[in-house]
Amino acid sequence: MSNGEARASDDDSVDASGGWSSWPAPAKLNLFLRIVGRRDDGYHDLQTVFRLLEWGDTIRLRVRDDGRIVRHGPSAAGVAEADDLTVRAAQALRNAANVAQGADIAIEKRIPSGGGFGGGSSDAATVLRALDALWGCGLGEDRLAELGLRLGADVPVFVRGRNAWAEGRGERLTPIDLPPAWYLLVDPGVHAATAALFRAPELTRNAPAATIASFVSGAALENAFEPVLRRREPAVDAAFAALTQVCRSTAARPRLTGSGSGCFVEFADRESAERALDRLPTGLTAWIAAGAARSPLLEALETFGS
């Protein structure tokens, strides 16, 4: 096995006493999503607002002296070890910083795959930021965001750790202040294939450009993928129907996040979110989470640095 090559390990004993450190990988919501055109490179121009959450996965890392990147525990279903985003992130950082050290990586997964909550991208971003600190690379936020963009369009927002208005492929970020909020989240259990959704003939690809003002006023809160997914996936439509029913007496309404199947409703306080959660029919996978003013990963990095 060559130096730096990833491999799986059957040893799942991950604890602080063994030299492991723990790092948060928060989930995100897209509070709206518009497609405003198609680019010359084949991608689409998007507009969205990323909202980070005080909930997500936990990444555990341990520095190795032999230069290997070792992923402990199972990878996501159907993902080869070498294609795991956390492994690729560690290898990209190792190559960019020209460091000799390696890392053990273990993930405590909470964010459902394919739901549009950003689990894979957030995990990769946390590996970039945390290993940059643990290895003493000192590449800085901008360089790490560049590395993250090569892994996925959503990775830079997690690297930077701030709620943001986003354009382009989602990589042109403008920090935005968002009010405190709680979210009722539902996972319909459908793994939405982003590439297939972008190919959907009924997808609106030329919506008029939104502005931050139109988002703040509530005029721009739609998600371009919602009508497509609701027609194609009965479970997603059923989740929207259930959320609409429990929010009938409020001004809140369900929305889709990203290009995944995950749905959410925003509330001003925890109590309102909990009441709505209690009214949902049994059988739905649902939970509540607070919106974050900034990523909990930034707090962890500051604590490590001090």
Q: Alpha carbon 17 to chain centroid distance? A: 29
3-state SS assignment for residue 104 = strand
Environment class of residue 26 by beta-carbon count within 10 Å: exposed (0-12), middle (13-18) or buried (19+)? buried
Environment class of residue 218 by beta-carbon count within 10 Å: exposed (0-12), middle (13-18) or buried (19+)? exposed
Q: How far apart are CA 111 and CA 86, in angstroms?
A: 15
Active-site positions read 28, 154
Q: How far apart are CA 306 and CA 303, in angstroms?
A: 5
Nearest to 270 by CA among 180, 160, 153: 180
Nearest to 86 by CA among 124, 117, 128, 52: 124
3-state SS assignment for residue 301 = helix
The residues that bridge with 207 in the sheet, in sequence order, are none
Count of beta carbons in the 10 Å neighbourhood of residue 172:
14
Continuous segment of H or E residues that includes residue 3: none
Instruction: At 20, list the tokens.
Output: 């492991």
The one-letter code for the residue type at 234 is P
Instruction: At 123, list the tokens.
Output: 């995990």
Q: Which residue has the tokens 């090559």?
A: 5
